[in-house]
A and B are shown apart, each in its own frame.
Chain A
Amino acid sequence: MKRSSRNLDPGPSSGKLKFSFFPGCSLKASGHENTLSLLKFCQSMDIDLVELEDWNCCGSSSAHSIDKRSAKYLPMRNLSLAPRGVPLLIACPSCLLRLKSSFLSIKADPALRRDYEDFFEKPFDDELEIIHFFEIFNRVDLKDHMEILAGTLKGIRVAPYYGCMLFMPPDLRYEKSHTGIIEKSLKSLGADIVSYGYANRCCGTYLSVAKPDIARKVVNEIIFKAMEAGAECLVTACSMCHLNLEIRCTLDNPIPVLHFSELLSMALGAEDHKKWFPRHIVDPVPLLKKRGLLA
């Protein structure tokens, strides 16, 4: 799926959007369907994504919990690999937090900058733009693509679920907030947005492994509240949240959980969903058929 910039680069004058893409471990493995549908979406929107060459794990919660050294250098190495002049696009909220806060601290701290430059033997790129997948919606006029698509999602009742990482981290308090992007874009495609109080509630992250009872409780709470508000499905912005919501839910007949990128790609007419939906634990196909989104 990786598109080569060498063959397809239309040059700077074309106005075509081009990003380096940092998938991260969750999207690369357990959330593979998220990556596939995201690449499909970008392809449909004529956006060029080039996977960051030889990227590594951002360190995630485990590094900053128990190992300061790897928590510091793992995100830095990814920054050092990013090509100049191309924005770095990240779809995982947790990876975004790690890479961006690393970038902001180096920018603000001359000693840390020296440390970075000594360690990676290259100058630090002050100008590197690190953006979340949602930022695409500020740069592309979806209307260009959506006018013909209005109503495509046919009133499917969606509970947006952002998770905690996109909203609250103090390290990113001066950065742009993307609140409302899921609501706005899916509504313009014809979905009904359900409002409930748990859109930024934490999914439990790694407690899903080490403390499954606690994770089960928060996951059930989130899905129950969405169902109570009348949602037919949840739409997630985070691949790890998606996994937790699926594997830790013990409610009877829970609603399916879709990746934001899956629903977007469906609206744009992507037909390779056969590769995505079998990877879901709660099968979204009956709902999508009922709503006429799948034949």
Chain B
Amino acid sequence: MILLDDGCPDFAGEMGEKTGIDFNRCLQCKTCANGCPFIDGMDQAPNRIIRMIQFGMAEEVLKTSTIWVCVGCNTCSSACPMAIDIPALMDGLRHAALDRGVEIPEPDILNFHQEVLNTVKKYGRTHKLEIMMRYKLKKMDLFSDMGVGLKMLKKRKLDLTPSRVKDMKAIEKIFQEP
């Protein structure tokens, strides 16, 4: 066992502080990886992410697709024998990746999150149609998945006009830079 005090503690220490996770706990049992519904879309298994943190491989970790593909369904954390909150770790790693300005290997996922927050900033609530249109425009790919979009419009699952919050001052205050 490599205890972090003797190894490369900088990155592990920083992430531990941000997320409240003690990386010494991980046994590398791979329960998280075996149960993850989305592992096919990840370039590193969740247990390997923890191992890389133990080794201080900050940049490598922050550039993985894993930290963006994880949706936080908690299948891993509910099965982890050492009760490690892996989705909380992924949140922390995403923030660190954005703070450090590393290249994001999953631009579509980031694009989607940004468009969601754009509509929340504008209306106080999400507006799916606008999210989809702007997401597609930014991706410069208007036609893939068109069938699903049309089906949703036909079934009136995409409202044409957004539902809005009345007190938009309060929403502006939330999105103001401190």
Mutual binders A and B = yes
Q: Among the listed A55, A202, A278, which residue makes an inter-chain contact with B37, where contact means beta carbons less than 8 Å apart?
A: A202
Judged by a CB distance under 8 angstroms, whether A290 is at the interface is: no
Judged by a CB distance under 8 angstroms, whether B31 is at the interface is: no
B37–A218 touching, CB < 8 Å: yes
Q: In whole angstroms, what is the CA distance A201 to B37 when docked?
A: 8
B94–A206 touching, CB < 8 Å: no
Q: Give the shortest distance, in Å, between A120 (CB) and chain B (any CB).
A: 9
Q: In whole angstroms, what is the CA distance A170 to B108 when docked?
A: 28
Q: Give the shortest distance, in Å, between B168 (CB) and chain A (any CB).
A: 10
Give the residues from 168 to 209 in chain A that come closer than 8 angstroms, CB to CB, to chain B: 168-170, 201-202, 204-207, 209
Given the interface contacts A25-B163, A70-B174, A77-B170, does A60 sit within 8 Å of B116 by beta carbon?
A: yes
Q: In whole angstroms, what is the CA distance A207 to B71 when docked?
A: 8
Output the nearest chain B residue to A54 by Cβ-Cβ distance: B166
Judged by a CB distance under 8 angstroms, whether B156 is at the interface is: yes
Chain A residues touching B, majority SS: helix
Give the residues from 59 to 83 in chain A that come closer than 8 angstroms, CB to CB, to chain B: 59-70, 73-74, 77
B69–A211 touching, CB < 8 Å: yes
Q: Among the listed A55, A57, A62, A243, which residue makes an inter-chain contact with B112, where contact means beta carbons less than 8 Å apart?
A: A62
Interface bits B100-129 vs A (CB < 8 Å: 1, else 0): 000000101111111011001100111110
The interface-forming segment of B5-13, B43-51, B54-62, B74-82 is B74-82
Count B interface residues, CB 8 Å: 58
Q: In whole angstroms, what is the CA distance A69 to B98 when docked?
A: 14
Instruction: Count chain A CB atoms within 10 A of each CB in B40, B117, B173 and give the residue with the most.
Output: B117
Interface bits A26-52 vs B (CB < 8 Å: 1, else 0): 001110100000000000000000000
Q: In whole angstroms, what is the CA distance A32 to B75 when docked?
A: 29
Q: Give the shortest distance, in Å, between A69 (CB) and chain B (any CB).
A: 7
B125–A57 touching, CB < 8 Å: yes
B156–A279 touching, CB < 8 Å: yes
Judged by a CB distance under 8 angstroms, whether B148 is at the interface is: yes
**Which residues of chain B are within 8 angstroms of A25 by Cβ–Cβ distance?**
125-126, 128, 163
Q: In whole angstroms, what is the CA distance A281 to B158 when docked?
A: 13
Judged by a CB distance under 8 angstroms, whether A131 is at the interface is: no
Output the nearest chain A residue to B148 by Cβ-Cβ distance: A247
**Which residues of chain B are within 8 angstroms of A164 by Cβ–Cβ distance?**
73-75
Q: In whole angstroms, what is the CA distance A212 to B149 when docked?
A: 12
Judged by a CB distance under 8 angstroms, whether A210 is at the interface is: yes
Q: In whole angstroms, what is the CA distance A206 to B145 when docked?
A: 14
Given contacts A69-B174, A205-B71, A280-B155, 14 further A-B contacts (CB under 8 A): A29-B158, A59-B120, A66-B117, A69-B178, A70-B117, A70-B121, A74-B174, A77-B171, A77-B174, A201-B37, A201-B75, A202-B38, A202-B73, A210-B106
Q: Which B residues have a C-beta under 8 Å from some C-beta of A?
A: 37-38, 40-41, 69, 71-75, 77-78, 83, 85, 88, 91, 94-95, 98, 106, 108-114, 116-117, 120-121, 124-128, 131-132, 135, 145, 148, 151-152, 155-159, 163, 165-167, 170-171, 173-175, 178
Q: 6 nearest interchain CB pairs?
A: A202-B73, A168-B74, A62-B116, A62-B113, A164-B73, A168-B78
Instruction: Please name 7 pairs of A and B residues whose Cβ atoms are closer than 8 Å in the assembled complex, sorted by A.
Output: A62-B117, A66-B110, A168-B77, A202-B37, A211-B41, A243-B157, A279-B155
Q: Which A residues have a C-beta under 8 Å from some C-beta of B?
A: 25, 28-30, 32, 54-57, 59-70, 73-74, 77, 119, 164-165, 167-170, 201-202, 204-207, 209-212, 214, 217-218, 243, 247-248, 278-281
